[in-house]
Structure 1
Amino acid sequence: MTTVLLVDDQALVRSGFRLILSVEDDLEVVGEAGDGTEALAAARELRPDVVLMDVQMPVMDGIEATRQIVAEQLAKVLVLTTFDDDDYVFDALSAGASGFLLKNSDAEHLVEAVRTVAEGQALLSPQVTRRVVDRMVSRSADSPPPAGGPTVVDGAADARGTVGADAAGAPPSAPGLELLTPREREVLVLVGRGMSNAEIAAELFLGEATVKTHVSNVLSKLHLRDRVQAVVFVHRHGT
């Protein structure tokens, strides 16, 4: 049974989500909260598997609540957002969210999203990832890089954008990279561009199972929770 905490400042929205999730045999809504402060208290008390977290709330917003919940390892967080909230998505990534769900998603997608995050997988579509990557690259291009650090290359010719990299294709200054094989470094950079396993397999002429193994090794060696954190890692150390 996967336990879920619903966090939204609108009671009607919480009721709708509860109704959808309650009919699933493997999902149980164990609590609700109307703001980030209540969410943090409820997560500490209830220890749910997944917190379904709204972003814009009074008292404490969803980003700060996510940061504290993840820091205390209380639960995995699935953030509710709208497609145009790129800034919120980027901030939630940095806060440790395991995935994103559009508020206008249908019931099937909501249920699948909760299950996916509960299983420890990141839920971030390549389309959303690339929007975030483009925003990160754009921000970095507007600011001079630190002295001696790698530079960010404007992705005008590639909608995904790229980061400054060494010959192996990964930011040379990032900690832990010496543990990766050359192939794992290549895979890391492609994950950072928002590419799916299938796209990475096609790019590197590998099988999807092989790519999955490389991604798993990268996450383990760099102590990253999921590929969402890998996206942040690549672009944080590429600026």
Structure 2
Amino acid sequence: MIADDNSFIREGMKIILNTYEEFDVIATVNDGLEAVHFCKNHIVDIALLDVRMPNMNGVEATKLITEQTKTKPLILTTFDDDEYILDAIKNGAKGYLLKNNDPEQIRDAIKSVYNGNTVMQDVVLEKLKANLGEKKPDTKVDKSLFTERELDIMSHIAKGLSNKEMAKQLFISEGTIANYISSILGKTRLEHRTQIAIYFLTGKVN
């Protein structure tokens, strides 16, 4: 299902996605309220939601769709505003993509979300990193599960630092950093550092 208040984008997206045989666009709606209503009354695998819509925006719709249905929300927007990104993820969004992606990238993102993954575009992660700046990000994770050093590593990952940059800041080797990351992945059953960043910021593993 596609929710966007711009009919040109909405119908254009429908035409593009329907060219892929693995997709069936079952509805297009104008706003978040219609999106929530449709998902509650129909079986929808993925809901593509614009952020800025009348009556109810995509972030608010994401929360209700996640709480009340089995539909997986994927934010698809022309805006990469950092003010929305964390709220959308906290509300259960399984991905955050910009509309200027190639159709193939959007297709791959939809398939990835359908298969249980979380999709975050690099530019969106960069916005998160810029928004966090040098301050230590607040974390929603259960701190009792991790050592102080592991929490420190996760904090640096959430700020977008590479292993090399972390090694320089924390005065430990890149190999030791890699070992800590392996330990974190083992404890959380996550697969890569992007998921660690999202988990650290939201407390959610999926």
Alignment correspondent of 1:192: 158
Check conservation: 2:3, 2:50, Cα contact below 8 A.
yes
Percentage identity across paired residues of the two chains? 28
Instruction: Tell me which amino acid in the other structure corresponds to 1:11.
Output: S
2:6 is the alignment partner of 1:10: yes
Distance in 2 (alpha carbons) for counterparts of 1:185 and 1:229: 13
Alignment of 1:115-130 (within 5 A): 115-130=111-126
Alignment of 1:79-228 (within 5 A): 79-135=75-131, 137=132, 155=133, 161-163=134-136, 176-181=142-147, 184-194=150-160, 199-200=162-163, 203=166, 204-205=174-175, 211=181, 214-215=184-185, 217-218=187-188, 227=196
Check conservation: 1:188, 1:230, Cα contact below 8 A.
no
Structure 1 residues 179 and 50, CA gap change in structure 2 (3 angstroms)? same
Per the TM alignment, residue 63 of structure 1 is displaced from its structure 2 partner at its CA by 1.4
Structure 1 residues 23 and 187, CA gap change in structure 2 (3 angstroms)? farther
Structure 1 residues 124 and 175, CA gap change in structure 2 (3 angstroms)? closer
2:49 is the alignment partner of 1:53: yes
Alignment correspondent of 1:43: 39
Structure 1 residue runs without a partner (length 5+): 138-154, 156-160, 165-169, 221-225, 235-239
Alignment correspondent of 1:230: 199
Q: Secondary structure at the match of 2:53?
A: coil
Distance in 2 (alpha carbons) for counterparts of 1:216 and 1:75: 28
Distance in 2 (alpha carbons) for counterparts of 1:12 and 1:132: 29
Distance in 1 (alpha carbons) for counterparts of 2:74 and 2:136: 27
- Structure with greater helix percent: 2
Check conservation: 2:153, 2:180, Cα contact below 8 A.
no
Provide the aligned length of Structure 1 versus Structure 2.
192
Q: Report the TM-score when normalising by structure 2.
A: 0.75
Structure 1 residues 87 and 111, CA gap change in structure 2 (3 angstroms)? same
